[in-house]
């Protein structure tokens, strides 16, 4: 090799490193790299120049139309915010998506995973890079926002609320984009993920631009700041965004983790934390007068969340991976308690039941004393929710059984997750087809429509539907009973693994004592 030593390498390393280097040591390596790349890249310069250009144009337009009063300032602020919206909701997430995708495509992600970086740290680094971009775009547009403040169009609280919301939405959209990009690990998912993301982010940012541009956004924020519901709304938005970001980060890390790594516990803890945290929010931020409405709605939404998670939990591989098996708690009691948090569809089913027991318990204790409307009439709510649950149990059992027929690989977990909603569609269509082809028209509910949850629940909640109710409940309960042996098997697998670990520890300890 004849090349001369480059000055960078030849120069001695100083005894005391400069502040920037020491600071960058504390930062996430992904963040440092993305910033280095961005500084050298073309997109960055172009976007900053573009944003500056828009800045100047808006300033010129506002200045030429300025007739005094607050409208000019408001207009400038609206225009600035409307420019910011697509940058934060589309460009930043899209860049995170692109960078994740390119890493996946070149197999670079595997090189990263071979290092000390944990999947969650990789995701956090990408989110950090998005934050840096956020600050950057904001600083580019800040002269405009400052002008609008000086023109007395908006006050500081409004600016603070708008920008905080922008930050929260930007993080949530970016984590969504990263999770979507990681779906690309399964090639079949790539186009679906791309379409879903581009459509989702595109329509969100277009909607946002319209909302801001029409002036409605500032009016709403103004109302919010004056109203007594400020705490409730802002905390709801914030908590929702945090929960969404956490969930997306979990999804992303699940894709990045080694196949045998435990990818279930995070999701299950998330799920079981949702009801207590939601009810805590209701009782902290929602005024007593609103709780009559909010508690039933929250309970209903949490039930839906449980059902969606159920689809994922009961479609996992059945057995513990060697890695998880080697890390179950050694203590038998602890192992048994942790069982529902460990991977495997049998334990997933147990976790699902535990979730609904928890939710029902909390809802019963915290149910508002007075009631208005349909949902919080205890009887109708109880009927609708128990019937929905019974159907969920029926279809999850069916889906779980189907999953059992498929090979035990990760790809088929995803396959089963697509199949389960399809099962409901088929359950609805089959009796309808039967009606059309055999009876000659869809007239009345009959027992064939038991497969159709929507129509049947509609029938069964009525006072006249007692027989149907009984039947659905019996079927749902029966399904859960049928699951019992499998759930016990799931528990026993964990306790057996714990026993094996204890036995191993006992054999290793005397051996090392002899050697010592």
Partner 1 sequence: MTTPLLEVRHLSRSYGRVRAVDDLSFAMARGQITGFVGPNGAGKTTTMRIAATLDIPDGGDVLVDGVSVLVEPRKVRQRIGYMSDQFHPYANLDVLQYLDFFARAHGLRGRRRQQTVRTVASFCGLTGFADRPATGLSKGMGQRLHLAKTLLHDPQLLILDEPAAGLDPRARIEFRALLKELAAAGKTILISSHILPELGETCDSVVVLEKGKRVVAGTIAEIQRSVQHQQAVQLRLLGEVEAAEKFLATQPDVGEVAVDGDRVRFTYAGGDEEMAALLARAIGAGLRITEFGRIEADLEDIFLQTTKGNLQ
Question: Residue 443 CB, nearest distance to partner 1 (Å)?
Answer: 49
19 binds partner 1 (CB under 8 A): no
Site for partner 1 in 235-264 (CB under 8 A): 258-261
230 binds partner 1 (CB under 8 A): no
φ and ψ at residue 434, rounded to 5 degrees: -60, -45
CA of residue 93 relative to chain centroid, distance: 15
Determine which residue in the list 19, 64, 107, 228 makes contact with partner 1, applying CB under 8 A.
107
Tokens read off for 279: 């009810």
Question: Residue 340 CB, nearest distance to partner 1 (Å)?
Answer: 23
Question: Residue 492 CB, nearest distance to partner 1 (Å)?
Answer: 21
Tell which residue, 381, 300, 334, 268, has the closest CA to residue 501: 334
Tell which residue, 47, 145, 55, has the closest CA to residue 90: 47
Tokens read off for 463: 């006072």
Site for partner 1 in 296-325 (CB under 8 A): 321-323
98 binds partner 1 (CB under 8 A): no
Question: Residue 9 CB, nearest distance to partner 1 (Å)?
Answer: 5
Tokens read off for 81: 């915010």
CA gap 122, 137 in Å, rounded = 23
Tell which residue, 400, 412, 205, 195, has the closest CA to residue 311: 400
Site string for partner 1, 117-146 (x = CB under 8 A): x-----------------------------
CA gap 485, 346 in Å, rounded = 9
Q: Where are the beta strands (DSSP E) in 132-278?
A: none
Question: Residue 250 CB, nearest distance to partner 1 (Å)?
Answer: 19
36 binds partner 1 (CB under 8 A): yes
Residue 9 or 438: which CB sits closer to partner 1? 9
415 binds partner 1 (CB under 8 A): no
In the chain, what's the furthest Cα-to-Cα distance? 93
Residue 114 or 514: which CB sits closer to partner 1? 114
Determine which residue in the list 65, 98, 111, 474 makes contact with partner 1, applying CB under 8 A.
111
Residue 301: partners with Cβ closer than 8 Å, 6 or more residues away = none
DSSP state of 153: S
Residue 29 or 215: which CB sits closer to partner 1? 29
Number of residues engaging partner 1 in binding (CB under 8 A): 43
User: What would the DSSP string read from start to end of 329-340?
Assistant: -SSHHHHHHHGG
CA gap 8, 11 in Å, rounded = 6
21 binds partner 1 (CB under 8 A): yes
Q: Is the dihedral of CA 458, 461, 465, 469 positive or negative?
A: positive
Residue 1 or 365: which CB sits closer to partner 1? 1
Residue 13 or 425: which CB sits closer to partner 1? 13
Question: Residue 188 CB, nearest distance to partner 1 (Å)?
Answer: 15
CA gap 440, 447 in Å, rounded = 17
152 binds partner 1 (CB under 8 A): no
Question: Residue 494 CB, nearest distance to partner 1 (Å)?
Answer: 16
Site string for partner 1, 322-361 (x = CB under 8 A): xx--x-----------------------------------
Question: Residue 327 CB, nearest distance to partner 1 (Å)?
Answer: 8
Residue 113 or 206: which CB sits closer to partner 1? 113
User: What would the DSSP string read from start to end of 363-376?
Assistant: HHHH--SS--TTTT
Contact 171, 131 (CB under 8 A): yes
Tokens read off for 199: 């459509």
Determine which residue in the list 56, 57, 108, 509 makes contact with partner 1, applying CB under 8 A.
108
Q: Using CB under 8 A as the criterion, which residues of the chain lie in contact with partner 1 when the complex forms?
A: 1-6, 8-10, 13, 17, 21-22, 25, 29, 32-33, 36-38, 40-41, 102, 105-108, 110-117, 258-261, 321-323, 326
């Amino acid at each position: 090799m004849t090349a001369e030593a480059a000055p960078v390498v030849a120069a001695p390393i100083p005894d005391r490193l400069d502040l920037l280097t020491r600071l960058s040591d504390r930062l996430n390596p992904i963040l440092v790299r993305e910033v280095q790349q961005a500084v050298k890249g073309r997109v960055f310069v172009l976007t900053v120049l573009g944003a500056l250009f828009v800045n100047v144009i808006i300033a010129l337009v506002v200045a030429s139309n300025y007739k005094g009063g607050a409208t000019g300032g408001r207009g400038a602020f609206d225009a600035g915010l409307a420019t910011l919206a697509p940058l934060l909701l589309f460009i930043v997430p899209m860049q995170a998506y692109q960078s994740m995708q390119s890493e996946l495509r070149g197999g670079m992600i595997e090189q990263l995973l071979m290092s000390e970086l944990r999947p969650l740290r990789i995701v956090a680094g990408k989110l950090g890079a998005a934050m840096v971009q956020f600050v950057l775009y904001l600083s580019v547009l800040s002269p405009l926002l400052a002008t609008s403040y000086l023109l007395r169009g908006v006050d500081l609280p409004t600016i603070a609320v708008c920008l905080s919301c922008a930050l929260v939405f930007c993080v949530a959209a970016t984590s969504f984009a990263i999770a979507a990009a990681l779906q690309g690990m399964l090639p079949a998912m790539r186009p679906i993920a791309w379409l879903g993301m581009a459509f989702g982010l595109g329509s969100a940012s277009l909607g946002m631009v319209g909302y801001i541009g029409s002036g409605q956004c500032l009016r709403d924020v103004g109302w919010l700041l004056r109203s007594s519901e400020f705490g409730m709304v802002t905390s709801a938005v914030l908590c929702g965004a945090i929960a969404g970001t956490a969930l997306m980060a979990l999804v992303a890390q699940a894709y990045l983790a080694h196949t045998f790594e435990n990818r279930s516990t995070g999701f299950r803890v998330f799920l079981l934390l949702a009801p207590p945290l939601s009810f805590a929010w209701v009782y902290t931020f929602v005024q007593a007068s609103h709780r009559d409405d909010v508690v039933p709605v929250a309970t209903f939404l949490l039930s839906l969340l449980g059902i969606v998670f159920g689809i994922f939990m009961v479609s996992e591989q059945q057995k513990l991976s060697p890695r998880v098996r080697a890390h179950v708690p050694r203590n038998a009691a602890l192992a048994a308690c942790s069982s529902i948090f460990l991977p495997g569809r049998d334990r997933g089913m147990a976790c699902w039941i535990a979730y609904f027991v928890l939710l029902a318990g909390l809802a019963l204790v915290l149910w508002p004393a007075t009631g208005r409307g349909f949902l919080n009439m205890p009887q109708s709510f109880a009927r609708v929710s128990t019937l929905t649950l019974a159907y969920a149990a029926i279809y999850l059992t069916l889906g779980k059984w189907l999953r059992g027929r498929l090979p035990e690989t990760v790809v088929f977990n995803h396959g089963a997750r697509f199949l389960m909603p399809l099962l409901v569609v088929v359950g609805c269509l089959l009796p309808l087809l039967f009606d059309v082809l055999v009876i000659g028209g869809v007239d009345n509910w009959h027992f064939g429509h038991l497969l159709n949850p929507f129509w049947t629940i509609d029938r069964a909640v009525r006072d006249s539907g007692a027989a149907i109710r009984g039947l659905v409940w019996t079927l749902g309960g029966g399904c859960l009973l049928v699951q019992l042996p499998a759930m016990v098997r799931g528990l026993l697998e964990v306790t057996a693994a714990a026993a094996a670990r204890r036995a191993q520890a006992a054999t290793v300890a005397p051996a090392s004592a002899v050697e010592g």
